[in-house]
Amino acid sequence: MNYENKIIDELGVINKHIAELETVARKLKAELIARGVGTYDGLGFYAEVQHYDRATINPRLVRELADENFVSAVTEIKPVDAVVVKAKVSTI
């Protein structure tokens, strides 16, 4: 295996670890949220549980209710570069 292919496997392993850590983080955050809004102290860190409303626009509804010219005028198209890594075998 050459270096060019090694980085693919290295990235795949790192992505797998990140996914595992994000799963643990979601569970811990859910436990803190269940305690309610407030500040909680650890030994080296503290966590603040917040609750607020966030306004969003439903793009599907905008497309349904507005005419095509309006949707085109307010739509931004940005270039995206992405790397998607998927396991070939489940042993990695």
Total-model pTM: 0.72
33 domain residue, yes or no: yes
Residues in contact with 39: Cβ distance below 8 Å, sequence separation at least 6, in sequence order: 46, 47, 48, 49
Query: pLDDT tens across 7-47, in order?
Result: 999 999 999 999 999 999 999 999 999 999 999 999 999 99
88 domain residue, yes or no: no
40 domain residue, yes or no: yes
81 domain residue, yes or no: no
Number of structural domains (the chain) is: 1
- For residue 91, what pLDDT band results from cuts at 50, 70 and 90? low
Its domain, for residue 15, covers: 3-74
47 domain residue, yes or no: yes
30 domain residue, yes or no: yes
